[in-house]
Homo-oligomer: A and B are copies of this chain.
């Protein structure tokens, strides 16, 4: 009987790490989540991931062949296979993650950040299938991005390309975790829209069910629920977020002229509430030659998107050879 090629997709997040086995069609054959445990050394986390891979692979050894390992992680350097100074993990300096895995499994492994992995996931299995030029924007705690140009992910000369979350909206604007001010992700992200709601509490007199919620408690989900019930503050917050995001996406289009921009992650789950104003303001801000040409699409990946993205990374590497 013919054996089926599969890869491991690993997504190392600040809280949880997900590990799955994925075939070339983007089917997730199995998946587990383990706690990342931010205080633990990298070698210990890798040992626990290796155990999970072995458990998932054991019952399939006759029928499936493991071809590679793809990893998505914060502050990942694709060229070196390392994670460098991750802000939310106790891994000092530079950690050779790819090396730790290839010591256990003598097969190809690759690492990149989660937004780049998401872009490759969309290209191989999602809304970017068949497109050679597109941009993926992840709207989570921050704003991540991955650029596909001519059918390949853009890494740049140092491996760190695609940091659109740090485009400057206002040099005197909101403080950003990067130490600068007014970065796009301080406005257009799940946390950014919460900040906008609190600004609107000060600016507007309108009643809002959100006024009784504290800053630390408010979530993007609460804002979208309120907006669907017609809450004026929540609705205006989406309008402002879409305006700021749409205008900056119009600048990004000038760089690589993508056929589509795919919105992904927590805030994108708000659907039309975020897509409609973003699309409208992007179109209004686009240079004429690009108007009406750039699709704004929801992700085509399902819930296991993070694992699929990491799997796509290594499938893509395997096919380069």
Contacts and interface: CB of A to CB of B under 8 A. Distances in A.
Contacts of A160: 257, 289-290
A163 B254 contact: yes
A76 to B, nearest CB: 12
B168 A250 contact: yes
A133 B149 CA distance: 13
Interface stretch (A25-33, A64-72, A150-158): A150-158
Nearest to A84: B289
Given A171-B285, A178-B287, A133 B162 contact: no
A131 interface: yes
Measured as residues with beta carbon below 8 angstroms from the partner, the interface class of chain A is 35 or more
Interface in A149-199: 149-150, 152, 154-164, 166-168, 171, 178-180
A164 B166 CA distance: 17
Contacts of A131: 157
A121 to B, nearest CB: 20
A267 B78 CA distance: 37
Given A157-B131, A157-B133, A158-B293, A255 B255 contact: yes
30 contacts: A132-B157, A133-B157, A134-B157, A149-B150, A149-B154, A149-B156, A154-B255, A154-B256, A155-B257, A156-B256, A156-B258, A158-B257, A158-B290, A160-B257, A160-B290, A161-B254, A162-B255, A163-B289, A164-B254, A166-B254, A166-B287, A168-B247, A168-B251, A168-B285, A171-B285, A178-B287, A180-B285, A180-B287, A251-B251, A255-B255
